[in-house]
Chain A
Amino acid sequence: MKLIGKLAAAFLIALMLGLGSAWAVINNMLPFAGRGGTVQNSAWTTSLLTGSNAADPYTRAIVARSGLLALDKSETVYFTAFTDDGGEALQTGCTYGISGSRLPARWWSITAYGADHFLIPNEDGKYSEDKNSLTWLGDGAEQRFFFTVGPDAKSGDFIPTGHEEESAPFSLTLRLYNPEPQVIETPGDITLPTLTKERCQ
């Protein structure tokens, strides 16, 4: 009887450890696993393995959780930010200024997602800004855009993060459709939009 008890305990502990660690990896909570091909560019991270057949089992599992049915890098390169430029987690209760210049792709957009990886409910039904929807300031190659992301973002270009009672983490995804070669060759060196925290509630 003692042996059966011990075996059952070992089995349960192994099950919890095994499934718990797998869940942690799949949710990208561990810094080491599945990081092959991951590139950091300021606050933004991308994995050029997303959507490709060369993806290792860890990348494939992470993509199945947070980027299922993604496109391969020649169609779209996805950059995701979970933090601002200061390295602090993006929070729906804070307001951020996002600024940048022309991006090397045929078309691009920036979308906000809640902690559940779905679009954040808000009164305006507005979830993204893109190359065509933004107001461009200045001329030629010097042209810049600026928009705000936050609970009370209402003027100019903006993405609202809703009015949930408690501030929750959120993330931003920048999609570059049909990116220029430099995006795939040196994703860590291209200039991406800046994410500056302006204020918190």
Chain B
Amino acid sequence: MKSWPFWIAGTLVLALMFHLAAVLSFPHVVMDLVHQGISKQAGGANIMVHPPRPDASSRGVVRPSPDILYSSCAFDLTKGPVKISSPVPESYWSISLYASNTDNFFTVNDSQTRGGSAAVILQTEDQNPPAPNGIPVVISPTPKGVALIRALIVSDGALPEVEAAVKQATCEGM
């Protein structure tokens, strides 16, 4: 009996399994690296970092926009909810939240906020947040993830002002 067709079929099935495992795990692996990178820069999870305006030496995240100041926080909800707050400048600004599989599960931008500042409380489904005081509560699909604040640098002259505003953004365990 010829056995080579079985060998070829078996090899292909195994190849398909490796292929799917690689495609499915890749986003998690990459997010994990980003989470570790931000935590390392910040000195831990749930701390906001304010890197300088992206330039050719930036290696944090692929395809950064040189017109945006990014502040980020590697959140970890395993010990409880986390509060993220930031002043809102006059030009485009947003807070976006990413789960550990890269999904962008929540975003709020400047035109959806009032009063020059914004905050959200981030928690997992089974947590009860301490009295939110009118602050919107967002359920994270995964206990770990990344919060990213974007603030547009409308012109080079506007940089100091935008920088001063986003430096006040915080991320803190509750």
Q: Are A65 and B63 in contact (CB under 8 A)?
A: no
Q: Is B52 close to A, CB under 8 A?
A: no
How far apart sit A126 and B12, CA to CA, in the bound complex (Å)? 48
Q: Are B65 and A128 in contact (CB under 8 A)?
A: yes
Q: Are B22 and A18 in contact (CB under 8 A)?
A: yes
Q: Are A119 and B14 in contact (CB under 8 A)?
A: no
How far apart sit A122 and B56, CA to CA, in the bound complex (Å)? 8
The distance from the CB of B91 to the nearest CB of chain A, in whole angstroms, is 8
Residue from A19, A60, A66 within 8 A of B62 (CB atoms) = A66
Q: Is A22 close to B, CB under 8 A?
A: yes
How far apart sit A21 and B94, CA to CA, in the bound complex (Å)? 36
How many residues of chain A get a CB closer than 8 Å to chain B's CBs? 55
Q: Is the interface of B mostly helix, strand, loop or mixed?
A: mixed
In this complex, the member of B18, B31, B152 whose beta carbon has the largest number of chain A beta carbons within 10 angstroms is: B18
Which chain A residue lies CB-closest to B141?
A53
Which chain B residue lies CB-closest to A66?
B62
Residue from B31, B56, B102, B152 within 8 A of A177 (CB atoms) = B152
Which chain A residue lies CB-closest to B31?
A64
The distance from the CB of B155 to the nearest CB of chain A, in whole angstroms, is 6
Q: Is A57 close to B, CB under 8 A?
A: yes
Q: Which of B87-110 contact A (CB under 8 A)?
A: 91-92, 94, 96, 98, 101-105, 107, 109
21 interchain pairs, CB-CB under 8 A: A10-B11, A15-B14, A21-B15, A26-B23, A26-B26, A52-B104, A58-B23, A65-B26, A68-B30, A69-B104, A69-B146, A74-B107, A107-B91, A107-B92, A111-B67, A118-B62, A119-B54, A122-B56, A125-B56, A177-B92, A177-B152
Residues of B within 8 A of A (CB): 7, 10-12, 14-19, 21-24, 26-27, 30-31, 34, 54-59, 61-67, 91-92, 94, 96, 98, 101-105, 107, 109, 111, 146, 148, 150, 152, 154-155
